């Protein structure tokens, strides 16, 4: 931990301002419109691509070209300060890219990650498909099956995925499927489903409580055939993994019995989700602070009342504390030095803070905060997702509890 620094370098400070300006000038003016439409904000994502904020080059530089690990959470916080739904539309392909990076070979990374983004002239999308109607947090119980057709060197995928960001409209779908049901989570693998593959279709599109500008839908896989080369990591590596898992099947389970493909991806992305939550929380805090300084009651600004001032003091303290956890986790993740469950700690804290801070903002605005005339109502709706997706609040607690106890707590 001696090398961890809280200070942003000059490049990161410039990037922070660049993304913040984009969020202020491009995202915020249309945030309410896209929330009402409940549609994917193609014009905003295309504008982000034109300036280099959406694309493979930006993701590669921000993630792989940054030894501190802080560039990406800094950028994400500013995007989600602009709007969570639009921010997720811009960042959603990154989860598919992370799934490829976490499980694929260098050759697969080079071929497929750029296709998750397309070009500034023709934007593409990626989707990471894990959750299912009967297996949300319980990713070890996935029913989507992948069967190998040795004669054709193809994998055949069948099943339904649920709550998928960019599901059905993405160009590249990364699908986690069960190869050996007996092995549960250790019998799973990840597959690339290339653009226009026959048998993949969009199921129902969900009407959501928040993040409405982000497209969330079912993905239906009906005898989807993909080449053997679309198995992330390759057949040889999978066979070796399955053989080891079968050997260990009847042995006592340790606290951690091997990383599942989905969990490996989520571990890497949890600090980023924490940064998203902080962006929403900060937006609510800043708006409430400005309102409290301008709103007058009983002849003085309401911030002069301790009840209001103390709420704001608590809000800024909690937001700063959550950001510190996120930045620490991002640094540890980038440098491969996770000790326990710092990624889960950062997401757990940041998600809770987002829900709480946006609720406090509504309280400070009073009746106005409860109406759609003010954005704090939208931010509160958006914030709740951070207690749910990419591992619920309770899943984060489970991961942390297992890490600190060394026990396989169920």
User: pTM (2 decimals)?
Assistant: 0.92
Catalytic residue, from 132, 342, 390, 393: name it: 390
Is residue 78 annotated as part of the catalytic site, yes or no?
A: no
Task: Retrieve residue 131's tokens.
Answer: 């959750």
The CATH class that applies to domain 261-405 reads mainly alpha
Q: Do 261-405 and 10-116 have the same topology in CATH?
A: no
Round to whole Å and give the CA distance between 193 and 166: 14
CA distances from 253 to 33, 65, 248, 385, 406 (A): 51, 38, 8, 32, 11
Superfamily of domain 126-247: Butyryl-CoA Dehydrogenase, subunit A, domain 2 (2.40.110.10)
Round to whole Å and give the CA distance between 341 and 400: 5
Q: What is the pLDDT of residue 263?
A: 59
How many helices and strands in the chain, by DSSP H and E?
14, 9
Domain ranges in the chain are 10-116, 126-247, 261-405
List the pLDDT tens digit at each of the 410 positions of the chain: 345 567 899 999 999 999 999 999 999 999 999 999 999 999 999 999 999 999 999 988 887 778 899 999 999 999 999 999 999 999 999 999 999 998 999 999 999 999 999 999 999 999 999 999 987 667 778 999 999 999 999 999 999 999 999 999 999 999 999 999 999 889 999 999 999 999 999 999 999 999 999 999 999 999 999 999 999 999 999 999 999 988 887 765 554 444 555 555 666 789 999 999 999 999 999 999 999 999 999 999 999 999 999 999 999 999 999 999 999 999 998 887 777 799 999 999 999 999 999 999 999 999 999 999 999 999 999 999 999 988 899 999 999 999 999 998 88
CA quadruple 204, 210, 215, 218: dihedral, nearest 10:
-30
Q: What is the pLDDT of residue 262?
A: 56
Domain 10-116 has CATH 3.40.140.10: no
Sign of CA dihedral 212, 384, 96, 186: negative
DSSP state of 82: H
CA distances from 248 to 155, 241, 251, 358 (A): 26, 11, 5, 47
């Amino acid at each position: 931990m001696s090398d961890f620094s809280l200070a942003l370098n000059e490049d990161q400070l410039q990037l922070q301002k660049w993304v913040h300006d984009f969020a202020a000038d491009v995202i915020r003016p249309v945030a309410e419109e896209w929330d009402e439409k409940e549609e994917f904000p193609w014009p905003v994502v295309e504008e982000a691509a034109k300036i280099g904020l959406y694309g493979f080059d930006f993701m590669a530089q921000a993630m792989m070209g940054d030894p501190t690990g802080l560039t990406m959470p800094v950028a994400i916080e500013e995007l989600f300060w602009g709007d969570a739904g639009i921010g997720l539309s811009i960042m959603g392909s990154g989860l598919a890219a992370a799934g490829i990076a976490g499980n694929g070979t260098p050759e697969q990374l080079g071929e497929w990650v750029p296709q998750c983004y397309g070009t500034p002239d023709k934007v593409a999308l990626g989707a990471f498909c894990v959750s299912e109607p009967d297996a949300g947090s319980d990713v070890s119980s996935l029913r989507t099956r992948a069967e190998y057709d040795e004669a054709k060197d193809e994998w055949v995928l069948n099943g339904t995925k649920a709550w998928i960001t960019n599901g059905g409209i993405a160009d590249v779908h990364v699908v986690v499927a069960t190869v050996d049901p007996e092995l549960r989570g250790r019998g799973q693998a990840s597959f690339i489903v290339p653009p226009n593959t026959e048998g993949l279709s969009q199921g129902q599109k969900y009407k959501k409580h928040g993040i409405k500008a982000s497209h969330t839908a079912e993905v239906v896989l009906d005898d989807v055939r993909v080449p053997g080369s679309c198995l992330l990591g390759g057949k040889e590596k999978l066979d070796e993994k399955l053989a080891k898992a079968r050997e260990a099947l009847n042995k006592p389970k340790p606290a951690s019995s091997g990383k599942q493909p989905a969990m490996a991806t989520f571990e890497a992305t949890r600090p980023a989700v924490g940064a998203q939550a902080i962006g929403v929380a900060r937006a609510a805090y800043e708006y409430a602070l400005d309102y409290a300084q301008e709103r007058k009651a009983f002849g003085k600004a309401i911030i002069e009342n301790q009840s209001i001032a103390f709420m704001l003091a608590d809000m800024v303290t909690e937001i700063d504390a959550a950001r510190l956890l996120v930045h620490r986790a991002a640094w540890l993740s980038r440098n491969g030095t996770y000790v326990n469950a710092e990624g889960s700690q950062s997401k757990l804290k940041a998600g809770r803070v987002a829900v709480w801070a946006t609720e406090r903002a509504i309280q400070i605005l009073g009746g106005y905060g409860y109406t759609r005339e003010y954005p704090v109502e939208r931010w509160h709706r958006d914030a709740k997702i951070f207690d749910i997706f990419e591992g619920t609040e309770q899943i984060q607690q489970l991961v942390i509890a297992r890490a600190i106890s060394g026990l396989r707590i169920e």
